[in-house]
Every structure is written in structure tokens, then in C-alpha cells.
Amino acid sequence: MLLTTIVVVIAVALVFDYTNGFHDAANAIATSVATRALSPRVALAMAAVMNLVGAFLGTEVASTVGSGIIEAPQGMEGLSVVLAALLGAIVWNLVTWWFGLPSSSSHALIGGLVGAATASAGTVKWSGVLEKVLVPMVLSPVVGFVLAGLVMIALLWIFRRGNPARLTRGFRVAQTVSAAAMALGHGLQDAQKTMGVIVLALIVGGYHQGTDIPWWVVLISAGALSLGTYAGGWRIMRTLGRRIIDLDPPRGFAAELTASAVLYTTAFVFAAPISTTQTITSSILGVGATKRLSAVRWNVAGNIAVAWVVTLPAAALSAALAFWAIHPLLT
């Protein structure tokens, strides 16, 4: 029964990873598709490959998710917590995907872990949640917005005397590189979150010790995320690529360059599981504001911000309800 439940939890974790991929595919390629730097299918294929590669570049974020958010009990009780957390995160991913809202899969998973642990009267490591989740959740959009604006202003000044048509062609080519960098950062950040949850399930089930990530966990997590990315998230892609602002290639390049830099820094330096969605969206807002404030559709940005704020408690509530439903069946 214990081993069967572990296998079920791993399978559900991979389902979450897949939904994470198609939910967040827009993060990597929406700007490139919107500016016609890449065709949608070519962009998705490139993003899927770079997601796969990025997942093998580090495991620091996985360790944070697996051991720095909650302390799950051993045995079936702990597996109930992990399974409920994943179900809550999947539900919220599907709800926000349906409405085309670029919410955070990362925060959905973390909210699910907190909600399920709370429902089970387990231990939530609030200091870890504050330091690794809440502080980066507030700071990363601000950093993305300001830094993207500064990068765009620098590009405008450097190329102020350039030929507009030639610059547009050049930045479309440059966006191929920046979109690949963004997809690499997405794989680096988001695949690790699923790795962390799978290792947590193995630990509470008694099949693993320590926080090291087995190679097969890296492989299956990377594969599920990559497949989900290739499936595409067209609803959210339209929101990021066209509904916030009509992007041009220079602004698309600046947004992707900034967002990927933030993703790499938080993963390698701080081991913080930040939201790729928040990072790219705030970067798009930052480059859009350099055009003129009225160019940004702030009502759409406001809806996205509401989804950001609601994600943690909504996923936590979904996970708590899932725990109360499945706990009697598993224990």
C-alpha cells in the first residue's frame, strides 16, 4: 500500500509538472511569438528543448521546495499531505489557464504544500516560507519591472540613431537567443519544484534519505515539463503577448533578457523558487512603460496582479479540501 501510494504521488507530481509546462509555456515564448521573431510551433519546440536542458543545471531550488517549506510526517500521513498539495496546485493551474490568467505554478505548489500541511496539523516552516517565497514574491516583480525599464532605456539611447527597419530585423534575431535564455531559466526554476516534491514523497515514504536529487527524478521531471511546454498554453500566451501591450522586437528582447537574468540569479545565488510568470510579466510591464504609461493596458495588469495575490491562499484552500477528502481513504 505504501509503495503503491508513492507511485501514485509521483504520477500526480508529473501531471502537475505537465500542467506547469503548458500553463507557463507562454512565459518563455509569448514575447517572441507576439513580435513575430519566431513562429508559434518553432518557439514551442525551442522552449521544450531548453526547458529540458535547464532542468539539469541545478538542484538548489529543489532542495528548498523539498525540505524548506514544510515538515511532512512519515508514512501514509505524509504522503496524504504531498498528494493533497499536488492536487490543490493542479486545480489552481487549470482554473487560471481556463481564464487565461498568467498566475504562478510555483506559488500554486507552495500554497498547496502549506495548505495541506496546515490541514493535517503538520509543521509549516514559516521562516522558510517568508525568506524563500514571500520576500522573493514581492521583490522579483519590482526588480523585473525596474530593471527591464532601465535595459529598455539603455537600448533606446544606444540605438537612437539606428535605422528602424534594420533594428527591427536585428532584434528579431536577438530575440531567438533571449527567448532560449528565458526557456532555459524556466526549466532551471520550475522543473526543480517537481523534483523537490517527488523527493519529499520518497523521504516520507521511507525510500530516500537526505535532500540529494536522484538522477531519475531529474530526468522524469525534466521530461514532463518539456512535454507540457510543447503542448502550449495559447490562452495565457495571448494575454502576455498582446493583451498587456503591443510589443515590438526591441522591447520583447529587453523583457526576455531581464527576466532570464532574474531567474538565473535567484536560482543559483539564493536558491529561491520564484515565479517565472511574475518575472516575465513584470518585465513586459517595465519595457511597456518606457513607451508611454498609457501604452500598457493596466486593467489587464491589475487582473494579473489579483491572480498573483490570490494564488497562494486559493491553492492552499484547494489542497486543504483535497487533504480532508483523501486522508480517510489513505490512512
What is the DSSP secondary-structure string of 138-187?
HHHHHHHHHHHHHHHHHHHHHTTTS-HHHHHHHHHHHHHHHHHHHHHHHH
The residue written with cell numbers 522591447 in the block is 251
- 219-236 in b/e burial notation, b at 16+ Cβ within 10 A? ebbbbbbbbbbbbbbbbb
Q: Is 326 part of a structural domain of the chain?
A: no
pLDDT of residue 315: 95
pLDDT of residue 204: 92
Instruction: Find, among 312, 187, 183, 194, the residue nearest to 259 by Cα.
Output: 183
**SS3 label, residue 124:** strand
> Directed axis angle between helix 298-330 and helix 276-289, to 10°?
180
The average pLDDT across 3-29 equals 85
pLDDT of residue 325: 94
- Quickly list H helices, 232-297: 234-238, 249-268, 276-289
Contact, 314 vs 179, CB < 8 A?
no
Residues spanned by the domain of 213: 1-314
What amino acid occupies position 233? Answer: G
pLDDT of residue 27: 62
More confident call, 234 vs 166:
166
Q: How far, in Å, CA of 88 to CA of 10, rounded?
A: 15
pLDDT of residue 42: 82
The CA-CA-CA angle for residues 143, 230, 279, to 5°, reads 5
Q: What percent of the chain has pLDDT over 70?
A: 92
Mean pLDDT of the chain: 86
pLDDT of residue 300: 67
Q: How far, in Å, CA of 145 to CA of 308, rounded?
A: 15
The total of structural domains in the chain comes to 1
Q: Is 329 part of a structural domain of the chain?
A: no
The CB density around residue 263, as the number of other CB atoms within 10 Å, is: 28
What residues contact residue 111 under an 8 Å CB cut-off, 6+ apart?
Answer: 88, 89, 92, 311, 312, 313, 314, 315, 316, 319
List, for residues 101-157, the tens digit of each pLDDT value.
767 888 899 999 999 999 998 889 999 889 888 888 889 889 999 999 999 999 999
pLDDT of residue 303: 72
List, for residues 78-94, the tens digit of each pLDDT value.
999 999 999 999 999 88
The average pLDDT across 278-303 equals 79
Could you tell me which residues are beta bridge partners of residue 70? 124
Q: Is 330 part of a structural domain of the chain?
A: no
